[in-house]
Amino acid sequence: MLGDGETDSVTFTVPDKKGEYQYVCTFRAHFQAGMKGKLIVE
């Protein structure tokens, strides 16, 4: 968790296969509040 005004970065390896991958925030109740997105691998 970050505080107000703080920043950080995350590095990860994307899947080998092109496509669209859903990701979600797993913090309690955040997914239900719409904190989710789509990762596009080209």
Residues engaged in binding Cu ion (CB under 5 A): 25, 27, 30, 35
Q: SS3 for 15?
A: coil
Nearer to Cu ion, 14 or 35 (CB): 35
The distance of closest approach from Cβ of residue 23 to Cu ion in the complex, given in angstroms and rounded to an integer, is 11
Burial category of 25 from C-beta neighbours within 10 Å (exposed 0-12, middle 13-18, buried 19 and up): middle
The distance of closest approach from Cβ of residue 28 to Cu ion in the complex, given in angstroms and rounded to an integer, is 9
CB 1 within 8 A of CB 15: no
The distance of closest approach from Cβ of residue 1 to Cu ion in the complex, given in angstroms and rounded to an integer, is 9
